[in-house]
Amino acid sequence: MKRGFTLLEMVVVLVVLSLLFIVLTPSLTRHVQEVRRTQAVNDERALGAALLSLYKDTGYWPSTNADGPSGGVNRLLSGESGVEASQRFSSSSPGAFRWGSSLPAKSLGDFLFFNNPDDDSGINSSAQSVQDYPSSGESSWRGPYIDRPYWRDPWGGVYVVNARYFPGNPLSDKTARAGHRLMVLSAGPDGVWQTPFDDNTRKTTFPDDSPGGDDVAFVFYTND
């Protein structure tokens, strides 16, 4: 007849398993975070490519909140609204709070999934009889440019674009826009914005407007 484990043997097994858990947990945690960062970058690349395609097709960057090139937005967000984003930020990064609070702001989906750069039909442009971007002709909206209207980063946050620095944005003049990197940004694992968002902080200044902390970014355009 087979005997069962003795109490001492069971204690030894539990100790060994506990030690393995302690040794392996940091490695597994790092691996999970690396996978998530890779997913975030892939998402940002897809959104950045979609923004470039929109500009190529229509001749307009998505910096408007009204018909045509009038109006303006400071941020574009990948969520359902233009106001949802983490409010946590690093005070040591110039203007970092603006990634989570600068207004006006608008959903990326209104430009890239729906043809609705203004707000006259809510979040779904299908309610309009006349679309905001031309839907035919040489310079027209040929979307959807993304496979779904709303996106979340791997940590549950939203991606944000610093639309204030798009060429032609009426909210900023050419001098304010010069030298700025346009990027799709995630606040990363800690949900804290640590990247500058400031008219006077650009690629040629010190500090510059490079992504900070554990923020995850994809730069898709740089102003001259």
Question: How confident is the prediction along the chain (224 residues), in pLDDT tens digits per residue?
Answer: 556 668 777 888 888 888 877 876 776 677 677 899 999 999 999 999 999 999 999 998 988 765 544 578 899 999 887 667 788 999 999 999 999 999 889 899 989 998 888 765 544 444 454 557 888 888 889 989 999 999 999 999 999 999 999 998 888 888 889 999 999 999 999 999 999 999 999 999 999 999 999 999 999 999 88
Cis peptide before 104 (omega within 30 of 0): yes
Nearest-angstrom CA–CA distance, 46 and 171: 26
* CATH superfamily for domain 7-222: Glycoprotein, Type 4 Pilin (3.30.700.10)
The Cα–Cα gap between 190 and 193 comes to 9
Domain ranges of the chain: 7-222
Strand partners, 218: 184
- How far CA 131 is from CA of 51, 128, 139, in Å, comes to 18, 6, 13
Q: What is the rounded CA–CA span in Å between residue 109 and residue 113?
A: 5
Query: Do 218 and 184 contact (CB within 8 A), yes or no?
Result: yes
What amino acid occupies position 140? S
| Helices and strands (H, E) in the chain, number of each type | 4, 5
**Pick from 157, 173, 201, 161: nearest CA to 55:** 161
